[in-house]
Amino acid sequence: GGIITQTPKFLIGQEGQKLTLKCQQNFNHDTMYWYRQDSGKGLRLIYYSITENDLQKGDLSEGYDASREKKSSFSLTVTSAQKNEMAVFLCASSIDRGNSGNTLYFGEGSRLIVV
Amino acid sequence: GEQVEQLPSILRVQEGSSASINCTYENSASNYFPWYKQEPGENPKLIIDIRSNMERKQTQGLIVLLDKKAKRFSLHITDTQPGDSAMYFCAASRNYQLIWGSGTKLIIKP
C-alpha cells in the first residue's frame, strides 16, 4: 500500500502572508488534488493536476497557486492568507490520468490558522 | 456552478435500524458516484461506489441505488452500529473532477 503525506499538519500564519502546503504520495498515481474543507462542510476543489507539470483550476482557485514539479509531489500556496479561509486542506491522489472514476486516496489534512 | 445536493445534513437513528442518505445531481453525463466516510479527525475514505451501468450495488451492510432518469442516488446503511457514526459524502463525476455533496452527519443513538 501507499501513503499520502501532507506537511505541515498545522500551518499558522499572519493575515496577508504567503503560505505553502506540501503533499507527497508514493502510490505512483498520476492525478493529484487539493481540496478545502470548512468545518462540518463538504469538499471544494482548489486545484488538480493530471500529470507532472500539469495544473488545472478547480472551483475555488482564486487566491491560491499550485505546483506539480514531480509526479509524487503537489504543493499549494495561499497567496495572501485571510482569516475567513481558516480550514482544513486535504490533498488526494488517484491512479489514472484525469479519469474521475477512480478512488481518491486522501492525506491526513493540513489545518490553516490565520492570526 | 454545478451542484450535488445531499440530504439530510444531520441524521439521527437508533442503533440497529437503517439509515438513508440521498443525493441528486445535475449533469446527465455523470457516470461515477462514490460515497466517502469521514470519521472525526480523520480523512475521507471510499466506502462504496456505483457506475452508471448499474442501478444497485451492495457490500457489507451498505446498499447504493442509482436512478439515472431522476438523477438521484442514495446510500442505505442496514443494521447501524456505533462505528457508523461519521460524516458521509456523496459525489458525482464531472469531466475529470468529482462534484461533492455537502455531507451528512450520521449519529447512531444507543
Name every chain B residue with its beta carbon within 8 A of the beta carbon of A56: 96
A59–B45: do the CB atoms touch at under 8 Å?
A: no
Collect all residues with Cβ–Cβ distance below 8 Å to A72 and sequence separation of at least 6.
A24, A25, A26, A28
For the segment B39-47, the average pLDDT, to the nearest whole number, is: 92
Bridge partners of B62? B59, B77
Query: Confidence class of residue A99 from pLDDT cuts 50, 70 and 90?
Result: low
Radius of gyration of chain B (CA): 13
Buried-exposed string A4-42: b where 16+ CB fall within 10 A, e elsewhere: bebeeeebeeeeeeebebebbbeeebbbbbbbbbeeeeb
Collect all residues with Cβ–Cβ distance below 8 Å to B35 and sequence separation of at least 6.
B46, B47, B48, B49, B62, B64, B75, B88, B89, B90, B91
**A108 at B interface, C-beta within 8 A:** yes
Selected residue of B98, B102, B106, B107 to mutate for chain A interface (largest A Cβ count, 10 A): B98
Bond prior to B8 in cis (omega within 30° of 0): yes
Whether the per-residue pLDDT at B68 is higher than 60: the answer is: yes
Name every chain B residue with its beta carbon within 8 A of the beta carbon of A109: 43
- Any idea what DSSP says for residue B79? S
Q: What is the pLDDT of residues A45-64, one digit of tens each?
A: 999 999 999 999 998 999 99
Burial class (CB in 10 A: 0-12, 13-18, 19+), A101: middle
Burial class (CB in 10 A: 0-12, 13-18, 19+), B72: middle
Beta carbon pairs, A and B, within 8 Å: 54
Whether the per-residue pLDDT at B90 is higher than 70: the answer is: yes
Q: What is the pLDDT of residues A15-52, one digit of tens each?
A: 999 999 999 999 999 999 999 998 877 899 999 999 99
Q: What percent of chain A shows pLDDT beyond 70?
A: 97
Look at residues A51, A54, A80 and name the one whose alpha carbon lies nearest to residue A66.
Answer: A54
Q: Which of B31, B36, B102 sits opposite A41 (nearest CB)?
A: B102
Collect all residues with Cβ–Cβ distance below 8 Å to A60 and sequence separation of at least 6.
A36, A44, A45, A46
Name every chain B residue with its beta carbon within 8 A of the beta carbon of A58: 97
Mean of pLDDT over chain A:
91
Name every chain A residue with its beta carbon within 8 A of the beta carbon of B43: 90, 106-109
Residue type, B14: Q
What the block records as the C-alpha cell of B74 is 442514495
Three-state DSSP class for B49? strand
> Which residue of chain B is at minimal alpha-carbon distance from A31?
B96
Q: Which of residues 18-37 of A touch B (CB under 8 A)?
A: 31
B102–A42: do the CB atoms touch at under 8 Å?
A: yes
Look at residues B83, B85, B87, B82 and name the one whose alpha carbon lies nearest to residue B8.
Answer: B87
